[in-house]
Amino acid sequence: MSPAGRPATPAPVTAFIGLGSNLEDPPGQLRAALRELEGLPETRLTAHSPLYRSAPVGPPGQPDYINAVAALATRLTPEALLAGLQAIEGAHGRRREGVRWGPRTLDLDLLLYGEQVLSTPALTLPHPRLTERAFVLRPLADIAPGLRLPDGSAVEAHLRRCPPGGLVRLEA
């Protein structure tokens, strides 16, 4: 309890969010999503990477993706944060039916939530494919140089082993 007798508010946790879009003005989708992340309750946007263009993962014939990573300081639980991310996706027209890894207006992935390791039907932390994708690792390293994953491995080490996959930085 706090000195005033109220329950103590937990300290903010740093969470990293992967952003991606390849439909309906992808750069605009990501810029709008960054503003909306700032609007989540008990959450503050502390940093975001430049935008990057990458080849799509998944079915052929879809447009390239625009990607970025954002850092948040949040008091939300991982599950509440995920629900907030999914609400933002829905507001951008994201539908979860259809082809896996198909084109989408907005994709927000909870990559890391502090040092937490979690595996539930709804959420796996760290994100299960985090270390395999340059379009996540490069922007993550941009905003959190020296970051280590909960297993102690360095993001930069994973990035060095990950094929670049045609990743192109779009803006500073």
Catalytic residue among 104, 142, 148, 151: 104
**Domain 14-169 listed as CATH 3.30.70.560:** yes
Predicted pLDDT of residue 8: 57
- The answer to whether 25 is a known catalytic residue is no
Predicted pLDDT of residue 98: 60
Predicted pLDDT of residue 160: 95
Q: Tokens for 14?
A: 């740093």
Q: List CB contacts of 132: < 8 A, sequence separation 6 or more.
A: 162
Predicted pLDDT of residue 1: 46
Q: Tokens for 6?
A: 């109220």
| C-alpha to C-alpha distance for 76 and 146, rounded to whole angstroms | 25
Q: Tokens for 63?
A: 């447009």
| C-alpha to C-alpha distance for 84 and 33, rounded to whole angstroms | 11
Q: Which DSSP state fits 158? A: H
Catalytic residue among 35, 64, 94, 148: 94
- 100-116 confidence digits (pLDDT tens): 666 889 999 999 999 99
Describe the chain by its helix, strand, coil percentages, rounded to 5.
Answer: 25, 25, 50
Domain ranges for the chain, please list them: 14-169
What is the bridge-based pairing of β-strands 107-113 and 52-54? unpaired
- The answer to whether 107 is a known catalytic residue is yes
Predicted pLDDT of residue 2: 46
- The answer to whether 109 is a known catalytic residue is yes
- The answer to whether 64 is a known catalytic residue is no
Given a contact cutoff of 8 angstroms between Cβ atoms, the answer to whether 147 and 58 are in contact is no
Catalytic residue among 109, 129, 133, 169: 109
Catalytic residue among 35, 53, 96, 107: 107
Predicted pLDDT of residue 164: 85
Predicted pLDDT of residue 141: 98
**What string of pLDDT tens digits covers the 172 residues of the chain?**
445 555 556 899 999 999 999 999 999 999 999 999 999 999 999 999 999 999 988 788 889 999 999 999 999 999 999 999 999 999 998 766 665 666 889 999 999 999 999 999 999 999 999 999 999 999 999 999 999 999 999 999 999 999 887 899 997 5
Which helix (H) or strand (E) segment holds residue 140: the answer is helix 134-143
